[in-house]
């Protein structure tokens, strides 16, 4: 059913990696985008074992594909050594490869150079508001997430429960990413509690009953398997000792809730972090297809208690976004954005909230409902002067 959605990503003209969390729709998209390609699925255990023993058999498995023809390799992270053959076939036979994976961790661990620049790197995310179109429902997205595997199922709770077990079984245990699986299982729900918060490694280690160094490794695994994103603080050239720790954002609201075993209505205390993570994922998804920003941060000046959720940098310009889950506007919501007013080169300040009314404050802060934010990002109208959203 995922093929019914028009995904943001366009098929590149040259070889590329496409990474994304499990169930996000990579395989479905590839079959639609490259209908005439040779398809190699490394989840096929017999094929996997054959290629594991002799990677040179890969050339035989794709037959006499003509130059410039496409070959799709699914679950490429299972066999990093295969990339040497891919590299050779790109050079010797001028073939093009779509290399799909749910993790780059084993590729990096094996010292693979990701084809030395001969392949682009793309990422796929859960379904965005633009991809869902008229089916988009923010309340449902915050409750169940928007992974196609879950979104298109009539029993999202059961699918999400199975998803967590599949992740532990296929990504973690089968790929031997951790030595202490029980410790990782304890770590997961604790890390889920830090969605939208500064990473407190000591606190996570204490609550999960593992060492601090182990937590750092586990966080790397979550990021490498594309479940989370760590957002750095904007330091404005502060000394290293003054730099703040990154904030942790889970990519999909449904998955982070499932890890905590929450499946019912979204509780009040969940809404803020879930909305923030949805905003971050929306920005990152659209940044795959347009020059939306060069870097993205959160802003929290040293020795202050003010903060702005997101600070986008494009060239020398900055754009600030504060996210609030309330449906009712009041002036106190602008505290962080007002504190940021003196930061040089800030060209727009936006409050994203769950209400319905759009307007501009007396000091130029724009207040946008969440659906307007999503529309502005999709239309390329986030930055001033880029479209009709300029002017509030």
- Return the pLDDT at 109: 64
- Return the pLDDT at 239: 45
Q: Which residues contact 346 (CB under 8 A, 6 or more apart)?
A: 317, 318, 319, 320, 340
Distances (CA, A) of 220 to 214, 248, 274, 296: 10, 11, 21, 19
The band of 3, judged by pLDDT with boundaries at 50, 70 and 90, is very low
Residue 227 near residue 103 (C-beta atoms within 8 A):
no
- Give the model confidence (pLDDT) of 225-251 as tens digits: 899 999 999 976 654 434 578 999 999
Structure token pair of residue 79? 């066999």
Q: Which residues contact 263 (CB under 8 A, 6 or more apart)?
A: 157, 160, 161, 257
- Return the pLDDT at 387: 60
Q: What is the DSSP string of 326-360?
A: -SS--GGGGHHHHHTTTSTTEEEEEEEESSS--EE
- Compute the distance between CA of residue 103 and CA of residue 78 in angstroms, rounded to an integer: 9
Check residue 266 and report its DSSP letter: P
- Give the model confidence (pLDDT) of 303-332 as tens digits: 678 899 999 999 999 999 999 999 999 999
Structure token pair of residue 67? 């130059």
Q: Where are the domains of the chain?
A: 2-123, 129-229+240-267, 290-378
CB neighbour burial string for 352-391, b if at least 16 within 10 angstroms, e if fewer: bbbbeeeeebeeebbbbbbebbbbbbbeebbbeeeeebee
- Return the pLDDT at 210: 92
Q: Which residue has the higher pLDDT, 250 or 167?
A: 250
Looking up tokens 């803020």 gives 272
DSSP bridge pairs for 353 = 369
- Looking at every residue in the chain, the average pLDDT score rounds to 90
Q: Please name the CATH architecture into which domain 2-123 falls.
A: 3-Layer(aba) Sandwich (3.40)
Check residue 170 and report its DSSP letter: I
- Give the model confidence (pLDDT) of 28-63 as tens digits: 999 999 999 999 999 999 999 999 999 989 998 898
- Return the pLDDT at 119: 83
pTM, entire model: 0.92
- Compute the distance between CA of residue 281 and CA of residue 249 in angstroms, rounded to an integer: 9
């Amino acid at each position: 059913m995922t093929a019914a959605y028009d995904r943001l990503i366009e098929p590149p003209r040259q070889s590329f990696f496409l990474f994304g969390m499990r169930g996000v729709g990579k395989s479905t998209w590839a079959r639609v985008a490259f209908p005439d390609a040779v398809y190699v699925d490394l989840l096929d255990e017999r094929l996997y074992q054959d290629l594991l023993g002799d990677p040179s058999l890969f050339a035989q498995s794709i037959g006499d594909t003509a130059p410039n023809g496409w070959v799709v390799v699914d679950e490429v992270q299972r066999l990093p050594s295969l990339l040497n053959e891919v590299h050779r076939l790109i050079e010797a036979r001028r073939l093009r490869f779509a290399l799909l994976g749910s993790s780059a961790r084993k590729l990096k661990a094996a010292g693979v150079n990701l084809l030395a620049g001969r392949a682009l790197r793309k990422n796929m995310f859960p379904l965005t508001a633009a991809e869902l179109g008229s089916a988009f429902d923010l309340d449902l997205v915050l409750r169940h997430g928007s992974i196609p595997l879950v979104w298109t199922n009539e029993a999202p709770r059961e699918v999400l429960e199975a998803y967590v077990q599949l992740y532990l079984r296929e990504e973690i245990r089968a790929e031997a990413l951790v030595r202490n699986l029980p410790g990782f299982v304890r770590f997961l729900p604790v890390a889920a509690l830090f969605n939208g918060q500064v990473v407190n490694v000591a606190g996570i280690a204490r609550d999960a009953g593992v060492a601090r160094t182990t937590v750092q490794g586990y966080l790397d695994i979550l990021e490498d398997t594309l479940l989370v994103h760590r957002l750095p603080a904007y330091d404005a050239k502060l000394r290293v000792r003054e730099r703040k720790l990154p904030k942790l954002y889970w990519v999909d609201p449904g998955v982070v809730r499932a890890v905590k075993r929450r499946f019912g209505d979204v509780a009040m205390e969940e809404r803020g972090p879930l909305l923030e993570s949805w905003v971050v994922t929306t920005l990152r998804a659209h940044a795959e297809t347009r020059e939306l920003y060069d870097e993205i941060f959160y802003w929290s000046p040293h020795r202050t208690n003010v903060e702005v959720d997101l600070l986008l940098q494009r060239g020398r310009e900055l754009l600030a976004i504060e996210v609030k889950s309330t449906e009712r506007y009041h002036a106190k919501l602008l505290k962080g954005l007002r504190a940021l007013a003196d930061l040089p080169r800030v060209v727009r300040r936006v409050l994203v909230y769950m209400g319905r009314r759009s307007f501009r404050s007396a000091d130029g802060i724009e207040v946008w409902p969440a659906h307007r934010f999503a529309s502005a990002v999709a239309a390329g109208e986030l930055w001033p002067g880029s479209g009709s959203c300029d002017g509030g």
